[in-house]
Structure 1
C-alpha cells in the first residue's frame, strides 16, 4: 500500500503556540494527593511534592497546566487553599462525591509549577460563585501589594505576585451536571461582566470563555454563538472539550474519531468567524481545547468505587484509565489534528497529567511510570515546536459510516527554521498493511534523517504497569533515507512514527583542495 506526501517550506498553516501541548491537574481522584503531592514519599521535596513525578513532567516539557478544574472548580472556594494548612477546612466536593482536605492550594500548586518548569493556567468559579470571588482571586494572585487580598498573599509567605496571564472563566457551564449550570444567555452575560472586571485590573490578561463540553451537546453549536455574542470583545479564546472511547472494540472506527474532532474544530471556527463578522470586529478569537484524552477504560470501575465508598472518601482512585497500545495511535491522531489546526487551536490541555486519565501514574509510596500514551505526547511536545506545514496528502482510504472516507495515513509536520529541522508525526491506521511512504521535500535545502522513532506492538491491548513499565516504549528505527529531496519510509501497520530531518550544507560544486609548496601548486 502506497501513500505520498508533499511538503513545501513556504506552504504553512501557522506558527504553533507552545501551549498547544499543555496539560491539566484537577482536584479529582489521585491527581493531587499521592499524585503530585505525597509528603511521606521517599522522593518528596521540602514542599511535599514527589520529585520522581516532577522529573517525568519536566521530560514532557509541559508549557502550561490548567488548575484547579474541571468540574471541581464549579463549587470551589479558592480561599480554602490559603493560610496555615492546619487551619484549612475540609470540604465536601459535590462534583466527584469526595472530600477535599485543601492541603494543596494556590501556593503549593504554584511552587510545584516552578519545580516542574511549567506555567499556571487558572480557572475561576462561575458556578456556585461569581464576579466578586473571581476578581479577589485575581488580586490575590497578581497584585504586588497594598490591597487586602495581595497583603494576605504576602502574609501567607509569597511576597511577589505570580502574574498569571491565562484565566478560564468557569468550566463546562453548558453541562447540566455542572454545579451552577447556566443557560448560554445566563453564562454569557456573567462571563462578559467577569471578563470586564478582570480586564479593568489588567488589560493584558488572556481570558478563556466556556464553549461546548462536547460536540454532542443539544445546545451545540448555538451555545458558542450565544456566548460569543455576549463576550467576543472581552475574551481571547473559547474552550472545547472532547474525550474518545472504543467501547465497541472496533479499532478502525476508533482511530477515525480524530476526523470527528477536526469537524468539531472546523464548526466552532466557523461560528467564531460569524460572530466576528456580526460584530464588525478586527479582533481574532481562537480555540482553547483545554480538555482532551482517551477516557473509557475506568468508567465501570469508578461506578463501583463510588457506590461502595464509605461516606465521602478523600482522594480515592478515580478515572485511572490503564492505557493500552491502541490508545497510543489515537493520541497520535489527536495531536496531529491539533498541529494541522494550529491556525485556530492555540491552546490544548491533555486531561489529565497524573493518575487521572493520565500519561504518568504513581503508586503511593512507590514508583512513578510512563503510560503508553506518554510517548506520542512526549514526541509532539518536545519536537513539535515551530511552524505547522500544510501538507498535500495522497493516501488510500477506508469508509466509516458517519465520517465518510478516512485516510489510512494520518500525518502532520513541523518546520523549525531556527533549528533547521523538519519533523513528521505519522500514524498508519491500517490493521494489516505496511504503508510505503514517499515524501517530496521542497525548498528546505539538503535534508538528512537525524532521528526515527516508532511505537508499535503486536498486542493492541498491552499496557504499561508499575511492574512492567516498558511493555510499550519508543524504539529507534534504521533504514529511512532522503535521496534527491525525497524521504522514503515504510510505516508498519497500526504504528506511531516520528521522523526528524535536519538541513545540512551540501556543496553544489566539487571542492578542490590545493596545497602550495614554495608558491607552486602540487
Structure 2
C-alpha cells in the first residue's frame, strides 16, 4: 500500500487554540473520589489529593478542565460543596443513582486545578435551577470582596477570586434523560438571559451554550438553529458531544467515524453561519466539543448496574479498558479537531480519571496510563501552533459510517515559533504496511527530531494496560522513516499511530 501527502508551509488552515486539548471531569463513579481525591492514599497530600494521579495529569499539559458535570450538574447545588466539610450534606445524585458526599466542592477542586496548572471551565445548573443560582456562583468565584457571596468565599479561606472565564450554560439540555430537559426555544431563552447575567460581571467571561448531545438525536441539527436564534449575540461557543464504540468489531468502520465526526462539525458550522447571516450579527460563535471519547466496552453492563443499584458512594462506573484500536481512534479524532480548528476552538476529552479516561487509578493502589493517554499527550504537547493543510493521495475504502475514507489519516502542525513541524499519521489498514511519501514544501533544513509509533498488527488491538501490566501498550521509537531536503519517506506499520517531529530553519 502506497500513500503520498503534500504539506506546504504557507497553506495554513487555522491558528490552533490551546484549549483544543482540554479535559472534563465529573462527580461520577470514581472520577473524583478515589480518582483524583483519596485521603489516606500513600501518595495523598494534606488536602487528600493523589499525587501519583496528579503527576500523570501534569504530564498531559492540559490547558482547561470542565467541571463538575455532565449529567451530574443538572440537579447539583454548588453551595453544598462549600464551608466546613463536616457540615456538608450528603445528597442523592439522580443522574448516576449514587450518593454524593460533597467532600470535594469548588474550593477543593480549584486547589487541585491550580496544583495541576489547569484553568477551570465551570458548568452551571440550568436543569433544576436558573439565573439567580448561576449569578451567585459567579459572584462567589469571581468577585473580589465586599459582597455576600465574595465575603462568604473569603470566610472559607479563599481570599483571592478564581477569575473563571469560561462558563457552560447547563448540560445536554436537548436530552430527555436530562433532569430539567427543555425544548430548544425554551432553553435558548434561558441560556440567553443567563449568559447576559454571567457576562455582567466583566473580566472577559465567555459562555458555552448547549448544542446536541450527539448527531443521532432526532432534534439534530434543528436544535442548534433554534437555540442560537434565541441567544446568538450573547454567547461565544456552542457545545457538541459524541461518544464512539465498536461493538461490531469492524475496525475500518470504527475508524470511519472520524470522518463522520468531521461532517458533524461541518454541519454545525453551517448552522452557525446561517443564524449569523439571518440575524445580521457581528460576532462569531465557535464550537466547544466538550465531551468526546471512546465509550462502549462496559456501557451496556454499566447501564444495567446504575439503574438498579442501591445508591452506592463512588461506585465503579464506566471504567473502560482501552486497547490499541481505541488509541488509534482517539488519535484520529484529535487529527480531525486539528483539521477543523477554524471551527473547533475548545475540545474536552471525557473524562480524565477512571471514568472513560486516559488515566486509571486503583483505590489504595497504583495509577497508570491507558492506551489513549499517549495520542492525547502527543497532541497536547506538540499540536499547538498553526494547523497546516495536508493533501493526501492514496488508497481509500467505504464503510457504513463514511465513504471514500483515506487509509492514511494525517494532520500537521507548525510550532508557534516556526522552528518545528509535527505530523500525526495513522495507518488505518489492519494488516498492510504503508509506503509513505510526504512532500514538505516551503521548509528548509529538515531534520528528524523524534518518531514515536504505537501498533503494528491487528492482533495487538484488543489488549489493554492494567495495574499489573501498565506498559503493555506504549509508544516506541520508530525506525523506518528517513528525512531528506524535500520531505519524509519510509514505512508506517499496519494498524499504527505515529507522531513525527521535525526541526526546520
Q: Tell me which residue corresponds to 2:414.
A: 415
- 1:428 paired with 2:435, answer no
Aligned length: 503
Q: 2: distance between equivalents of 1:361 and 1:223?
A: 35
Q: For residues 369-393 of structure 1, what are the alpha-carbon distances to aligned partners after superposition, in whole Å with 9 as ceiling and x for unaligned?
A: 0001111001101111110001111
- 1:253 paired with 2:262, answer no
Q: 1: distance between equivalents of 2:354 and 2:480?
A: 37
Q: For residues 68-110 of structure 1, what are the alpha-carbon distances to aligned partners after superposition, in whole Å with 9 as ceiling and x for unaligned?
A: 0000000000000000000000000000000100000000000
Partner SS for 2:29: coil
CA shift at 1:298, angstroms? 1.3
Partner SS for 1:330: helix
CA shift at 1:226, angstroms? 0.6
Conserved? CA contact 1:126–1:170, under 8 Å: yes
Q: For residues 458-500 of structure 1, what are the alpha-carbon distances to aligned partners after superposition, in whole Å with 9 as ceiling and x for unaligned?
A: 4210100000001000001124222231211311111000000
Q: 1: distance between equivalents of 2:284 and 2:444?
A: 34
Q: Tell me which residue corresponds to 2:123.
A: 123
CA shift at 1:325, angstroms? 1.1
Partner SS for 2:196: helix
Q: For residues 317-376 of structure 1, what are the alpha-carbon distances to aligned partners after superposition, in whole Å with 9 as ceiling and x for unaligned?
A: 001111111101100110000000000000000000000000000011100000011110
Q: Tell me which residue corresponds to 1:138.
A: 138
Q: Normalising by structure 2, what TM-score? A: 0.98
Q: 1: distance between equivalents of 2:400 and 2:455?
A: 27
Conserved? CA contact 2:435–2:492, under 8 Å: yes
Q: Kindly tell me: are residues 41 and 495 of structure 1, through their superposed partners in 2, closer, same or farther at Cα, counting changes over 3 Å?
A: same
Conserved? CA contact 1:448–1:481, under 8 Å: no
Conserved? CA contact 1:444–1:503, under 8 Å: yes
Q: Tell me which residue corresponds to 2:191.
A: 191
Partner SS for 2:447: strand
Q: 1: distance between equivalents of 2:416 and 2:167?
A: 31
- The residue correspondences of 1:112-511 to structure 2 (distance < 5 A) are 112-202=112-202, 204-306=204-306, 309=309, 311-418=310-417, 420-457=419-456, 458-504=459-505
Q: Tell me which residue corresponds to 1:44.
A: 44
Conserved? CA contact 1:446–1:485, under 8 Å: no
CA shift at 1:419, angstroms? 5.3
Q: For residues 384-417 of structure 1, what are the alpha-carbon distances to aligned partners after superposition, in whole Å with 9 as ceiling and x for unaligned?
A: 1110001111121011145211110000000014
Conserved? CA contact 2:438–2:487, under 8 Å: yes
Q: 1: distance between equivalents of 2:307 and 2:218?
A: 29
Q: Which moved more, 1:442-451 or 1:95-104?
A: 442-451
Q: Kindly tell me: are residues 238 and 307 of structure 1, through their superposed partners in 2, closer, same or farther at Cα, counting changes over 3 Å?
A: closer
Q: 1: distance between equivalents of 2:487 and 2:361?
A: 44
CA shift at 1:203, angstroms? 6.1
Q: Normalising by structure 1, what TM-score? A: 0.95
Query: Is there any run of 5+ residues in structure 1 with no aligned partner, and where?
Result: 505-522
Q: 2: distance between equivalents of 1:207 and 1:307?
A: 32
Q: Which moved more, 1:286-295 or 1:481-490?
A: 481-490
Q: Which has the larger radius of gyration?
A: 1
Q: For residues 175-200 of structure 1, what are the alpha-carbon distances to aligned partners after superposition, in whole Å with 9 as ceiling and x for unaligned?
A: 00000000001100000000111112
Conserved? CA contact 2:163–2:203, under 8 Å: no
Query: Is there any run of 5+ residues in structure 2 with no aligned partner, and where?
Result: none
